[in-house]
Amino acid sequence: MKRQMMAAIIGVFGALGAPENARAYDIDCAIMLCLAGGFPPSAVCAQAYRTMIRRITPWPSLPPFGVCTFAHVPVELGGPGGEGELDTNLPEYEWLNRTHVIWFTGRSYEPRDQPRQWDWTIRSCDRENRTCQYIQRVYGSHTPWPATFVSESGQEIAYPTSGGFLHFYSRSIMVEYGDFEGNMDHSEWFDY
């Protein structure tokens, strides 16, 4: 009976210690891993999703994620136990340098005694938010924004909304990223 009780106690303490090991990586690693899986339902991915959105929604935005360095992993869990700097200009980090935050703003309105008009802009910023450029900037169009646009990386991306007559204003943001093999992809649009 004592052995069974001791085994149960050890099992409980072992189970309670497991989440600490599961969180042994920094949040940038969690964002990248969860983003690749479409943010599957879990506590770690929910936190990673919230952190990524918190970084990219203010203006100026912060990078959606950095390099997964395991820099914050304590030594007792096998990590370096401190802050680590990494040279992302090396060729093996080119995928990270293709990350862009894409901002969309669009509105529909009816000027006095004129037909309905649409304005929209698509702006792309690098992952450090140092360099931003307009991909499209249209004012006073008599037709809604088109269905798709071409990003800096050559991807054809659908606009977040259709720009119909009942849609008056929209602000959205997305992340465009590349993997280590050079394949480009993007997140969904997030309205804010």
Q: What is the pLDDT of residues 8-37, one digit of tens each?
A: 333 433 333 333 333 445 777 788 788 877
Do 127 and 76 fall into the same domain? no
DSSP letter string, 17-50: HHHHHHT-S-HHHHHHHHHHTT--SSHHHHHHHH
Residue 175: its pLDDT value, please?
Answer: 86
Domain membership flag for residue 156? yes
Instruction: Report residue 6's pLDDT band, with 50, 70 and 90 as the boundaries.
Output: very low
Spatial distance between the Cα atoms of 29 and 69, rounded to a whole number of angstroms = 8
167-183 pLDDT, tens per residue?
588 888 888 887 777 78
Do 186 and 101 fall into the same domain? yes
Report if pTM > 0.75. no
The owner of tokens 């309670």 is 16
Last residue of a domain, one of 27, 61, 87: 87
Is 150:75 a contact under the CB 8 Å cutoff?
no
Exposed, middle or buried by CB within 10 Å (0-12, 13-18, 19+), for 141?
A: middle
Is 65:52 a contact under the CB 8 Å cutoff?
yes
Domain membership flag for residue 92? no
Please give the residue range of the domain that contains residue 74. Answer: 2-87
- Side chain identity at residue 45, one-letter code: C
Do 184 and 103 fall into the same domain? yes
